[in-house]
Amino acid sequence: MPQDTLFKPSNVFNIGGKLISFDFPLAMGIINLTPDSFFDGGVANTPANALQQAKTMVSEGAQIVDLGAASTRPGAELVSADEELSRLLPTLSILKNELPEVIISIDTFHATVAEEAIKNGAHIINDISGGEMDANMFATVARLSVPYILMHMQGTPQTMQQNPTYENVSDEVFFYLNEKVNQLKVLGVTDIIIDPGFGFGKTPAHNFTLLKDLERFTMLGIPILAGLSRKSMLNKLFGIKPENALNATTVLNTMALERGASILRVHDVKEAVEAIEIYKYLVVGE
C-alpha cells in the first residue's frame, strides 16, 4: 500500500486549541464513572480513582480519554442529566487540573450534559444516539463548535438488543451515518467522527459484518472510531466473560486498523497502542 494513501481520510481537527491529526490512528481510553457498566463499572467510582486510571492510560499512550457517567450497556436504566453531571463534573475538574495535556471526550446523549462539560473544559462530545435521544444535541454541538462523535444505534439502551433486525446492516448503517453527517454539516459542524456502533442494536453477526465492511465507511471522508473492546460479540462467540476477552479484542482492533479505523476506543490502552504501533511499522516501516 503506498504510504501517501495510508490511514485515509486525512483530517486535522482543532481540539481544545490544538491541531490533532487523524492521519495515524489514536487510542481512546474508556473511563466509566458508573457502578453498572458491563466490564469495569465501579473501578473509577471516585475522582481520585478516575484520575489514577487516566494517568495510567496516558502513560500507556492514550491521547484521548472518554468519560462516561451513565451506563449504556444493554438494558441499562437511564439516569437524569443532573445525576450524570453530579458524577461527571468532579472528575472532569480534577482531570483538567492534573492532566491538562489530555483530550477529554464526554460520552453522553444529553445536550445539557454536553454543554456543561464543554464549559468545564471537555473537548469532544461522544453521542451514542446520533442525536436521536435529545433533539437539541446537534444544535448544541454546532453552537459550541466542538468535535462530535456520531454513532449509530438501533433503538435505545433499554431496547436495542431485544431483536435487532436489518435487511443489510452495512448499507443501513452507512446511509444513516451519511444522512446525519449531512445534517450536521448544514448546521456548521465540520469536525465529525463516525462510529458504526458495534454492539448497539446489533447481533454478533451484524457486528462482524460491519467490521468486515468497515473500509467502506472511509468513503464518507471522515475519521472512524471503532469501539470493539471486550464486546459481547466476542463473549458469545467464545463463551467467555468480558474479563477474558482481551486477546480477542486485540485481534478485532487490528482488523479495524487494517480497514481504516482512526480511533480505537478501548479499556486496555497498552495493548491497543501496541497494535497501532505494530500496524504502523508493518505498513510504513516506522
CA dist., res. 176 & res. 161, Å (int): 19
Nearby residues of 65 by Cβ (< 8 Å), 6 or more positions away: 28, 29, 30, 31, 54, 57, 58, 95, 102, 103, 104, 105
Q: Residue 9: pLDDT above 60?
A: no
For the segment 119-145, the average pLDDT, to the nearest whole number, is 97
pLDDT, one tens digit per residue, over 35-52 is: 755 555 566 678 999 999
Mean pLDDT of the chain: 91
Q: pLDDT per residue over 171-208, tens digit each?
A: 999 999 999 999 999 999 999 999 999 999 999 999 99
- Among residues 202, 231, 241, 280, which one is catalytic? 231
Span 257-262, mean pLDDT?
96
| Statement: residue 10 has pLDDT above 60 | no
Cα separation of 76 and 36, whole Å? 8
Cβ–Cβ under 8 Å, residues 201 and 153:
yes
Residue 165, C-alpha cell as written in the block: 433486525
> Is 259 designated active site?
no
d(C-alpha 258, C-alpha 211), whole Å:
10
Q: Is 265 a catalytic residue?
A: yes
Catalytic residue among 87, 180, 230, 265: 265
